[in-house]
Structure formats: C-alpha cells, structure tokens
C-alpha cells in the first residue's frame, strides 16, 4: 500500500459547512473535524482553505445590485466564520489549530504568514486559511491552489458537497453524465468544466500541482484521499 501524503492542502467548499443551507450545521462541521483530526494524528500535515458559499458569493450579490468588490469582501468575511467553526470542532477533537486570515482581524485569527503556517504544520498543528486572498474578484479555489504552492503541499484535495468527482456534464441534471478518473489540466480547461474555477486550474497547471476532486459527503473520504486511495478525479499533466 502506498504511503499517505506528508503535507496536503484541503479545500472545503462553503456549501459543505451549511449542509446545503445558509449558515453552519454543527453536526456536519463536527464530522469533518473528526475526520481531519484522524489524518493529522496519522502524521499527515494538513492545511485547509475554506470557502464561503454557505454565506455569500460576491458574484451572486452583485447580480442583485451590490457593488462587486464590497460583495466579495462580504464573501471573504463569511469564510472566516466557517474557519472559526472548524477550528472549534478540531480543537474539541484534540488537534491544536490555528486560523490565519488574509484580512487582518487580530482578535480572532493570526494574519496570513506563510512561513509561520509551515512552522505550525511541522509542529503537528492544523492550519486553516480564511478570508480568501483578501482580494475581490478571486475565488477560494484559486486561493487553495496558491496556498498549496506557497506552503509546499504535495497535492490539492478539493472536497465537494455530494459529488464524487468531475463529470462530463452536471450529474444532478444529466443522468447519463460520466465521471472522469483522471483528467489533464488542458482537458479540464478546454471542456470548460465548472467544478473549479479556471484561474485555479491554470495556476495548478503552470506549477504542476496535482488536484484530486472528491466527495466530502461520504464519511471516511478525507482519510481515503489522504491515503492515496483511488477515489474521485485526479487532475494532472
């Protein structure tokens, strides 16, 4: 059996935190925290980027009339609430956890300092990155790719709500949709697949960062993907 990854960047989409609704579902977050705690105890260094789609997406708010940049800041602040919920449950599960925010908010989180994040990881702490990039017009997928590269993660693990991997069509609409086991970055981009944003994929391609898309809604999947079991869709060159 192949060895688990040593250092991973796990991207959790905001949708997962809310269990499909607005806000945070504590039962769901506790379940994810327990799974993360298990892989950290197994010796894998884990950093997390959390999304905020369970609160606000800037693009959606701007279609309802808000200025895009302000709406995006609301989106970024939403991700921090998810970070704090995840931190709480991870600490309850016995894992020391630090939140680093790309927007300064000293009372609740450290600032994003990549080398300090690496030190935390080396000490066996979980690091959760919040507030996206701190910049409007970006997505947390892109931030996940950037953080993975900057902290030297071996792989970017993209956890999705209720979807097993990347399909050739939306499986919720088209029942004939087929899931890819593997895909190249260029296939992903040329087929305009919507599972992650194109900027994130281009950044991964240009820096040779593998991405695994997997279903977070299946219990035990975080451990499976960290142990390199062949689940989901792997994106590489």
Q: Which residues bind ligand UDP (CB under 6 A)?
A: 13-15, 51-53, 57-59, 72, 75-76, 79, 132-133, 135-136, 138-141, 143
DSSP 110-158: EE--HHHHHHHHHTT-EEEEESTTSSTT--HHHHHHHHHHHTT-SEEEE
Consult the annotation and say whether 14 binds a ligand: yes
Instruction: Give the separation between CA 103 and CA 72, rounded to whole angstroms.
Output: 12
Least CB distance to ligand UDP at residue 190 (A): 23
Consult the annotation and say whether 52 binds a ligand: yes
CA Rg value for the chain: 17
Tokens coding 79? 């991700």
Least CB distance to ligand UDP at residue 57 (A): 4
Tell me whether residue 66 or residue 189 sits nearer to ligand UDP (CB atom): 66
Consult the annotation and say whether 61 binds a ligand: no
Give the nearest residue (CB) to ligand UDP: 51
Instruction: Give the separation between CA 48 and CA 100, rounded to whole angstroms.
Output: 10
Least CB distance to ligand UDP at residue 230 (A): 24
Least CB distance to ligand UDP at residue 1 (A): 31
Tell me whether residue 51 or residue 232 sits nearer to ligand UDP (CB atom): 51
Consult the annotation and say whether 106 binds a ligand: no
What beta strand segments (E) does the chain contain? 7-12, 45-50, 97-101, 110-111, 126-130, 155-160, 182-184, 210-215, 233-236
Consult the annotation and say whether 72 binds a ligand: yes
Tell me whether residue 140 or residue 233 sits nearer to ligand UDP (CB atom): 140
CB 108 within 8 A of CB 99: yes
Instruction: Give the separation between CA 147 and CA 141, rounded to whole angstroms.
Output: 10
Tell me whether residue 62 or residue 223 sits nearer to ligand UDP (CB atom): 62
Neighbours of 218 (CB within 10 A): 13
Tell me whether residue 146 or residue 234 sits nearer to ligand UDP (CB atom): 146
Consult the annotation and say whether 170 binds a ligand: yes
The binding site for UMP comprises: 52, 72, 133-140
The binding site comprises: 11-14, 52-53, 57, 72, 133-140, 161, 167, 170
The binding site for ATP comprises: 11-14, 53, 57, 161, 167, 170
């Amino acid at each position: 059996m192949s060895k688990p990854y040593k250092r991973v960047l796990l991207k959790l989409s905001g949708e997962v935190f809310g269990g499909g609704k607005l806000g945070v579902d504590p039962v769901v977050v506790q379940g994810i925290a327990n799974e993360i705690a298990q892989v950290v105890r197994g010796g894998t260094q884990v950093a997390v980027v959390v999304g905020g789609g369970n609160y606000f997406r800037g693009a959606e708010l701007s279609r309802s009339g808000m200025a895009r940049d302000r709406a995006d800041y609301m989106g970024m602040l939403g991700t921090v609430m998810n970070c704090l919920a995840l931190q709480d449950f991870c600490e309850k599960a016995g894992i020391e956890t630090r939140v680093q925010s790309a927007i300064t908010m000293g009372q609740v989180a450290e600032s994003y300092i990549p080398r300090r994040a690496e030190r935390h990881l080396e000490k066996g702490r979980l690091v959760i990155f919040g507030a996206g990039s701190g910049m409007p017009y970006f997505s947390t997928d892109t931030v996940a790719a950037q953080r993975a590269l900057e902290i030297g993660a071996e792989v970017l693990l993209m956890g999705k709500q209720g979807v097993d991997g990347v399909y050739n069509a939306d499986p919720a609409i088209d029942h004939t949709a087929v899931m890819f086991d593997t895909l190249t970055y260029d296939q992903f981009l040329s087929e305009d697949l919507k599972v992650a944003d194109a900027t994130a994929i281009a950044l991964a391609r240009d820096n040779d960062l593998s991405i695994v898309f997997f279903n977070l809604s299946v219990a035990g999947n975080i451990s499976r993907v960290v142990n390199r079991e062949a689940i989901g869709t792997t994106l590489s060159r």
